[in-house]
Amino acid sequence: MGWSVGYDENWKRDIGYGVPGGCDHPGCTTEINRGLAYVCGEEPYGGEKGCGLFFCTHHLWISEVQLCERCTDGSEPFTPSPDVNRWISRKLTDSSWARWRNENPHQVRLLMEQQTAEPKFQIGKAN
């Protein structure tokens, strides 16, 4: 399976390196993508050790595998950050999502409401 765009049933959100997203560390505004380079646990959905959320390089700790602060401590995962507007608008307008839009009118409506919220993440602050 190419891991460009997939879906995480556990966290109910789109994942993969083709999906832009904000770092899931509270208060962090770095934009990353939801690929394996940034996943807590180093495997899709977090594997055995991680929570499967996504963090910038400042918020991942490398021991045996890369983990977020909470998983390093063995405590409950962080609350995931919302999808970025750039990704939401792609889902709402891109032709590759046309079929999904037809099949999920309720989700489309929710995304349209979400899109009107203030943008939270900035691009290019990672390094």
- 37 secondary structure, DSSP code: G
Q: Per rule CB under 5 A, is residue 51 in the interface with Zn ion?
A: yes
Are 44 and 36 contacting, i.e. CB atoms less than 8 angstroms apart? yes
| CB-nearer residue toward Zn ion: 61 or 97 | 61
Bridge partners (DSSP) of residue 22 are 31
Give the integer Cα–Cα distance in Å for 106 and 66. Answer: 36
Q: Is 15 in the site for Zn ion (CB under 5 A)?
A: no
Least Å from the CB of residue 71 to Zn ion: 3
Minimum distance from CB of 98 to Zn ion (Å)?
Answer: 33
Give bridge partners of residue 67 from the DSSP assignment. Answer: 61
Closer to Zn ion by Cβ: residue 71 or 111 = 71
Residues in contact with Zn ion by CB under 5 A are 23, 25, 28, 30, 40, 50-51, 56, 59, 68, 71
